[in-house]
Structure 1
Amino acid sequence: MAETAHHPQTSAERLIARGVGWTWALWLVGGLYIAGPVLGWALAGMVALALYLDRVKATAIPGTVWAWLAGMLAMLVILWVGHVNFELDFGKTIKSSVGWAKGWALLALFPLVGAMLDVRAEVIYRAVCRLGLQTLILLPIFLIAPYVGLPEVLWVSPLKVLGGAGAEYFAAQLYTIEPGAGTPRWQFFAPWSPAAGMMGVLYVLLAAQESHRGWKAIGIAGGLMLALFSQSRLALVALFVIVPIVWGASRLGKGQLWLLAAPAVFALGIFGPTLIDIIDGAAGEFSAARADSSRVRAALGRIAILRWETEAYWFGHGVVEDGPHLVEYMPIGSHHSWYGLLFVKGLLGSIALAIPLGATFLVLLIRSQTDRGAQIGLSLTLALALYSFGENLEILAYLYWPALVVIGLALRENPTPEA
């Protein structure tokens, strides 16, 4: 049984495994941005069919998944109200609604799939490890490309006409040149480098659960390469903080942890001021590593907050707007889920994300004391929460959907006890 645990056996497992396994092929033809939403809605249709045929009961949907469904549906209603408030035309409303279906909706659909369909986490772990092998095989091409004269962008797929998003989502791009530094940086199959770092972190967390040592090493190595060569500062922070935080959080009920924590707290009281100075210095160096990027991110946040407070407090502006020259015309609120939500969907939109995300974290934190699967789901949820302060979660859901499925598995009402 152990030898076949990773083999897809159901229709849902086959779709998921192939969706992960075809990542690089889909990137080459510019189909990743389309494939993620199509897969999410197709799998959700399978859930709806199972409910209709009475193969599963609606009462089996976990309360936390209901919270995600309600929150993401609220996002759509809030979007419509924002369009009405600013008298946006019907065409923009349709376009924004389609954007919701390709973004925010996926944050509810994929956990629903994991919670309701016959899917095993082992299949996803192995698929991610196989993708890691593909990444390691292709890595030399990416690394030598800027030094042998290969173009930055191989091509932009004509599928762009179907997506309605920027060209970066449909471009087969080998590398970019860092402005100011003149050094190469890699984004692999993601639309930009920090997003590749995010995928690297999630893949490391997923591959670490693989039972086969060889595949585990390959999967972790593939994820690490994505994280390291993306040169994302947030990816490096996430790799170092998530695992120890989850390890400690999942052992809150164990007395020996508190015995170990007591001297640490005592030492923190003595050396606290020195530690604060070190953290402040590190934070300064962190920002200075890419001063222009940090400046633009900060300015985008300030503009988003100011315009949210003064123009669209409850329901937001309804659409994304490009910022001024000061922020290099980047969309207001980009690089930050909460600033973006406040600007586009107002305070109610932020609440619609905060409630299910917070509920998921708390439920998995409680279950992680006795459930190994919940520990994995907790680590992924923590990663998404961390990245919500550096990326717009809805924009990248088409890439990190395997993590959402595993979170859905962890939220099932019948968890797997820790071995």
Structure 2
Amino acid sequence: MVGGLYIAGPVLAWLLALLAAAQLYIAPGLPEHKRPPPVHPCIWLWMLGMLAMLIILIVGHLLNELGTGKTIKSSIGWAKGWALIALFPFIGAVLDIRPEIIYRAVCRLGVQTLLLIPLFLVAPFIGLPGLLYVSPLKIVGGSGPEYFAVILYTIEPGVGTPRWQFFAPWSPAAGLIAVVHTLCALEEKSWKWKVIGVTASLMIALLSQSRLALVALAVVWPAAFGISQLRKPWAWFTAAGPVLVATMVAGQLLELMNQAVESFKGARADSSRVRAALGRIAVERWRNEAPWFGHGVVERGPHLVEYMPIGSHHSWYGLLFVKGITGVVALLVPLVATLLVTAKLSLHDPVGRVAFSLLLLLTLYTFGENLEILSYLYWPALVLVGIACRRAVVFRQRRLAHASRQAPPPDASERV
């Protein structure tokens, strides 16, 4: 209601990151049982990758002669965007945060959502304005007033139907947050809170009318659950039949998939056309003008794409245009490494499965959103990724300790 979420996310990240750094600093003086485990290598990869984003940003500004003012402004933007993608996993890996706290908090937020949804639903039909006001907090800066706007609903261009975005800057972003909250609420142990959290999150996903959110709801959790069961024989026996049938009707399945993709694009044809054009422009200008360090800043596109920023609606195209191939590598390496680590952990630990599903979701959304500008909203997912990395380190320490206890004592020749 005060339009302060865009400020709250970065402030929370940097304050908790300082607390985590202090915890690491004083750890050698603490009793052994109170020391945090060693920081997982994946967390350091995220830290190095996002620090590389800052270095690439500065180099890109220098090469494109954008001036000191723009460099400082973009560096502040980095601190509120890309930096959070590394800081929140670092926080989860160092501070002893229980995942159950995040699950319950998401469900408690669901109570507020369910109470407010009737107002959102009736607002466009009783004459209430869509935009209530823009918070004066926008003076702190941001990519646009939409990050500080309090909006009841929006009207879909060309269709004239209402669409809801809740506390996100636009509706597809609300869809992303809805899926994050759904995956968290499913892990809540209390059935009462689970029903509340899942219901509220599904309502946001449906009312946001985000096509990608609906696809993610159908794909991400089953995929993560299936991979987490690969150690169990029943999973292989269960999958054998469907895989056999799929190989026999592969041609028909491919045709159905192509039809589904076309239907997906046709559901909002103008949006799909603009997104495709933005991608083509971004790739073409990246390849011909700034292949290594990009253009340094976002630029508005032509009338063809309704003056949307080039590379927007797609993390990889956005990285290519703004930061070049080096920016893509800085995100791709830690993302792939952490996906592999959480996939392995999901075989043994529920938190690993949750973190893996959230990373799958974020990977899916790299093809539909710019992840860095929404990190102030989906930060619970990043904290859970850090918690999973912490669990992976603890499990490895336990395995090594168990192996050392089980090892036979050396014989006389080995002692010599």
Q: Would you say the 8 A contact 2:56–2:293 is kept in 1? A: yes
The one-letter code of the counterpart of 2:12 is L
CA displacement at 1:244 relative to structure 2: 1.1
How many angstroms does 1:259 deviate by?
A: 2.2
Tell me which of 10, 13, 23 is aligned to 1:50.
23
Aligned residue in 2 for 1:135 = 113
Instruction: Give the C-alpha shift of residue 282 in structure 1.
Output: 1.2
Q: 2:364 aligns with which of 386, 390, 394?
A: 386
Contact 2:300–2:308 (CA under 8 A) maintained in structure 1: yes
For residues 198 and 58 of structure 1, the distance between their equivalents in structure 2, rounded to whole angstroms, comes to: 32
TM normalised by structure 2 equals 0.92
1:58 deviates by 8.6
Partner of 1:110: 88
Q: Deviations over 1:47-72 (max 9, x none)?
A: 12212323587971111100100000
Using the alignment, how far apart are the partners of 1:164 and 1:379 within structure 2?
Answer: 30
Distance in 1 between residues matched to 2:319 and 2:124, nearest whole Å: 37
Partner of 2:38: 60
1:70 corresponds, among 19, 25, 48, to 48
Quote the offset at 1:415 in angstroms: 4.9
Name the aligned partner's letter for residue 48 of structure 2. Answer: A
Aligned residue type for 2:137: L
Answer with 408-417 or 181-190: which moved more: 408-417
CA distance in 1 between counterparts of 2:37 and 2:103 reads 28
Give the aligned partner of residue 21 of structure 1: none
Structure 1 position 36 matched with structure 2 position 9: yes
CA-CA distance at 1:110 after TM superposition: 0.2
After superposition, the C-alpha distances for 1:344-384 in whole angstroms (9 at most, x for unaligned) are 01001001000111011000111111111101111111111
Contact 1:33 1:163 in 2 (8 A): no
Residue of structure 2 in register with 1:98 after alignment: 76
- Contact 2:88/2:379 (8 A) holds in 1: yes
Report what 1:206 is aligned to. 184
2:394 maps to 414
2:348 matches 1:370: yes
Paired position in structure 1 for 2:167 = 189
Deviations 1:247-281, CA, capped at 9 Å, x for gaps: 11112232322222222222112211111111111
- Three-state SS of the structure 1 residue aligned to 2:167 is coil
TM-score of the superposition, structure 1-length normalised?
Answer: 0.91
Q: Distance in 2 between matches of 1:289 and 1:89?
A: 43
Using the alignment, how far apart are the partners of 1:94 and 1:232 within structure 2? Answer: 34
- Runs ≥4 residues deviating over 6 A: 56-59
Q: What is the rounded CA distance, in whole Å, between the counterparts of 1:57 and 1:350 in structure 2?
A: 35
Contact 1:371 1:415 in 2 (8 A): no
- The gaps in structure 2 that reach 5 residues or longer are 399-416
Aligned equivalents of 1:249 and 1:51: distance in 2? Answer: 33
Whole-angstrom distance in 1 between the partners of 2:278 and 2:221: 31
Question: 1 CA distance for matches of 2:37 and 2:151?
Answer: 45
The residue correspondences of 1:8-19 to structure 2 (distance < 5 A) are: none
Matches within 5 A, 1:17-416: 28-54=1-27, 60-412=38-390, 413-415=393-395
- State the match for 2:412 in structure 1: none
Q: 1:253 corresponds to which letter in structure 2?
A: R
Separation in 2, partners of 1:163, 1:403: 25
Matched residue of 2:9: which SS? helix
Count of aligned pairs:
390
Sort the Cα spacing of 1:135 and 1:59 in 2 relative to 1 into closer, same or farther, 3 A.
closer
Conservation of the 8 A alpha-carbon contact between 1:373 and 1:415: no
Match of 1:10 in 2: none
Q: State the one-letter code of the partner of 2:5.
A: L
Cα distance in 2 between the residues matched to 1:233 and 1:345:
28
Q: Which structure has the greater CA radius of gyration?
A: 2
- Which residue identity does 1:276 align to in structure 2? L
| CA offset digits 1:58-113 (Å, max 9, x no partner) | 97111110010000000000111100110110000000000000000000000000
**Contact 2:36/2:94 (8 A) holds in 1:** no
SS of equivalent residue, structure 1 residue 29: coil
CA distance in 2, matches of 1:82, 1:59: 37
> Which residue type is aligned with residue 156 of structure 2?
E
Task: Tell me the distance in 1 between the aligned counterparts of 2:350 and 2:156.
Answer: 41
